[in-house]
Amino acid sequence: MDIQALDFEEPIIELEKRIEEIQKLASEKGLDLDDEIKTLRVKLNKKMDEVFNDLTSWQRVRLARHPNRPITSDYLEHIFEDLIELHGDRTFADDMAIICYLASIEGRRFLLVANKKGANTQDRLKCNFGMPHPEGYRKAIKKMKLAEKFGLPVIVLINTPGAYPGIGAEERGQALAIAENLREMSALKTPIITVIISEGFSGGALGIGVGDRNLIFENGVFSVISPEGCAAILWKDGSKANEAADVLKLTSNDLMELGVMDKVIEEPRGGAHRNIKQTAENLKAVLIEEFDDLIKVDLPTLLDRRYKKYRNMGEFLENGSLVSGTRKDVSDAH
């Protein structure tokens, strides 16, 4: 695969190309260039460590948006089986920014809900670049309610820059559709696993993001607003997105520390785009593990844990004092 390099990846790509050229020369000319290759590999490993062991928040955002990064269609190809697509919200239209399938992994049946961005320009236009309309959220929750009826767990793959902010979407009740999804998913009587496979911003991600287990890829990012949107609001300058990324605490490590995410899914060294097959295998292994754990939990316990999970998130003011979101008496609030 021809990898499109980000600026901080360019020294790595150059070293890899140099190694390939020397290997090709050695093969064609019958030369012994093992020492040169070994020296370059040492330099490559050192450069990989320098770059990827100290990524900034903004660099992780850019990796999450990498043009070669695996998208939903890649995971459909490599992980999921017995796919049967379910269409439409039975009210307005079939929004392709959110797709729903009955699916399985090694005999485990579930409903798959996923953002779809598209693999080429035509497909991206069809999917509105992964920005759902209200009918996308209504489609998702209708299929989730169907899964609830038949006792199927729900797996959600999230990859969206946000819900579509156009006039038509607002006229058809964008905010209400997202709010209703939050309410319905919080009480859905079946296990839910959510995965941030790349970026998950704003209500666009929250609208399908309520889970019993929230997972995120190592270079995934998740926040109430995109860095560009935050910068435009706070500083009236979208070019300050790199500063906004730092203060938003949107990386996988930040989110684990804040208790928003439950597990980080490891990526191949250098990012998911460098080995799509391995990335898919990593996701598959984690999904199987989480699926098998959740289906053992009885429904009342599952719903109680889900309630407490979101009730305990974050911090709030109480009588003017900052208090941790973790409350011993949280069950009394039912």
- Three-state SS for 268-306 is CCCCHHHCHHHHHHHHHHHHHHHHHHHCCCCHHHHHHHH
SS3 219: coil
- Distance CA(82)–CA(255), nearest Å, equals 33
Q: Give a three-class secondary structure readout of 70-106.
A: CCHHHHHHHCCEEEEEECCCCCCCCCCCEEEEEEEEC
Mean per-residue pLDDT over the chain, rounded: 92
Task: Count CB neighbours of 334 within 10 A.
Answer: 8
- Distance CA(156)–CA(192), nearest Å, equals 8
Buried b (16+ CB within 10 A) or exposed e, 277-304: eebbebbbebbeebbeebeeeeeeebbe
* Tokens standing for residue 294: 């959740």
Whether domain 62-313 has CATH 3.90.226.10: yes
pLDDT tens profile 151-207 = 999 999 999 999 999 999 999 999 999 999 999 999 999 999 999 999 999 999 999
The band of 316, judged by pLDDT with boundaries at 50, 70 and 90, is: low
Dihedral sign (CA 65, 192, 183, 75) = positive
Dihedral sign (CA 261, 185, 191, 196) = negative
pLDDT higher at 41 or 213: 213
SS3 48: helix
- Distance CA(119)–CA(106), nearest Å, equals 26
The one-character DSSP state at 65 is: T
pLDDT average, residue stretch 121-127: 93
Helix axes 174-186 and 299-311, enclosed angle (nearest 10)? 130
* Tokens standing for residue 68: 């070669």
Q: Range with the lowest mean pLDDT among 8-12, 22-26, 303-307? A: 22-26
Q: Torsion over CA of 182, 123, 3 and 199, rounded to 10 degrees?
A: -10
Domain ranges of the chain: 7-54, 62-313
| 71 pLDDT more than 90 | yes
Alpha-helix runs per DSSP H in the chain = 10-29, 34-52, 57-64, 72-78, 121-126, 134-149, 167-171, 174-186, 202-206, 227-234, 241-248, 252-258, 276-294, 299-311
Residue 232 class from Cβ within 10 Å (0-12 exposed, 13-18 middle, 19+ buried)?
Answer: middle
SS3 173: coil
**Cα 264–Cα 266–Cα 271 angle in degrees, nearest 5:** 120
Q: How far is CA 232 from CA 9, 201, 236, in A?
A: 27, 15, 4
* Tokens standing for residue 63: 């990796």
pLDDT average, residue stretch 117-132: 93
Which pLDDT does position 325 carry in this prediction? 55
- Distance CA(71)–CA(131), nearest Å, equals 14
SS3 242: helix
Which pLDDT does position 3 carry in this prediction? 64
- Nearest partner of 131 among 210, 214, 226, 216, judged by Cα: 226
Q: How far is CA 153 from CA 12, 36, 196, 210, 297, in A?
A: 41, 53, 18, 13, 12
What pTM, to 2 d.p., does this model score? 0.90
* Tokens standing for residue 199: 């970026």
Which pLDDT does position 250 carry in this prediction? 97
Which pLDDT does position 104 carry in this prediction? 98
Task: Count CB neighbours of 94 within 10 A.
Answer: 16
